[in-house]
Amino acid sequence: MRAACCAFLMLCGGGAAAQSGAQSDGGWWAQKRTDGGVEAGAQTAPASSADASPPAPAPMDSAAPATLASVPLSAAVFDCVEVARFEVNQGLISSKQEARAAMIPAEKLADIQRSVAGNIPEKIPGMRAALEGGGADCPDPQRTISLTGHIIDFKKGNQALRYFVGFGAGAQKFSVTARAVRKSDGALLAEGDVTDRKVGGWVGGNDDKGLDDFGEKVAMFLKRSLPSSR
């Protein structure tokens, strides 16, 4: 009987020690699980950064328009020219030619612009012209030439001196550095000086004739600059 009681007491002591050890162990693996999950308040192991999946790439926008490269100038076809009003040097004057050019009246610059634009369809079949800033632009920048110019010399001239004196007296002169580029990307088509002089005689010696002749020469300069012959 005494031996049975001793055995019973030893068994009770061992169970209590085991229970105490389980309660003191605070590891996450020792928490009781219910319904297959961790009980409230239990800590879970942090996920490893190596296990994280990289974010999926953003889908390509198939509706985004592709950038089209400009057609090479050698294969370009132009059908319209926007003529800008030619400019004069308003800064420092470095020559008497620039000083004369700076004296050209503003209305004369407008006349030159209209003369050049009017001569372009006459000298280049199938080509149209528009006055830059006039409210009517060419429709297709890829097929449009922007024509600008810088007046480098101007002499109004004197018809009487040309007739009575001659020898270059009273000569009329327009001279401009013209520049033609494709409107869409600014690709240079041509650049060069264009000059018209009237040195004598009544015929062809008046202001209007000189202005029209100058516009014709600028139009011919542009025609020679086109990548394809017309």
Decide if 146 is inside a domain. yes
> What pLDDT is recorded for position 105?
87
Domain count, the chain: 1
d(CA 27, CA 38): 13
In this structure, the strands spanning 37-38 and 80-83 are unpaired
The amino acid at residue 187 is A
Decide if 188 is inside a domain. yes
User: Which domain covers residue 219, as residue numbers?
Assistant: 74-225
> What pLDDT is recorded for position 37?
45
Decide if 104 is inside a domain. yes
The CATH number linked to 132 is 3.40.50
Decide if 215 is inside a domain. yes
pLDDT averaged per 10 residues in sequence order, the chain, 230 residues: 50 48 43 44 46 52 47 90 94 88 90 96 96 92 97 75 47 89 96 81 55 93 84
**Token pair belonging to 9:** 């007491």
> What pLDDT is recorded for position 216?
96
d(CA 115, CA 215): 5
**Token pair belonging to 131:** 């006055």
Crossing angle of helices 207-225 and 106-123, in 10° steps, is 50
Decide if 26 is inside a domain. no
Burial pattern 70-107, b for ≥16 Cβ within 10 A else e, equals eeebeebebebbbbebbebbeeeeeeebbebbeebeee
Decide if 158 is inside a domain. yes
pTM of the predicted model, to two decimals?
A: 0.63
Question: Sign of dihedral through CA atoms 220, 222, 227, 230?
Answer: negative
> What pLDDT is recorded for position 85?
96
Decide if 128 is inside a domain. yes
> What pLDDT is recorded for position 168?
47
> What pLDDT is recorded for position 167?
43
> What pLDDT is recorded for position 159?
55
Decide if 216 is inside a domain. yes
Other Cβ atoms within 10 Å of 7 Cβ, number: 10
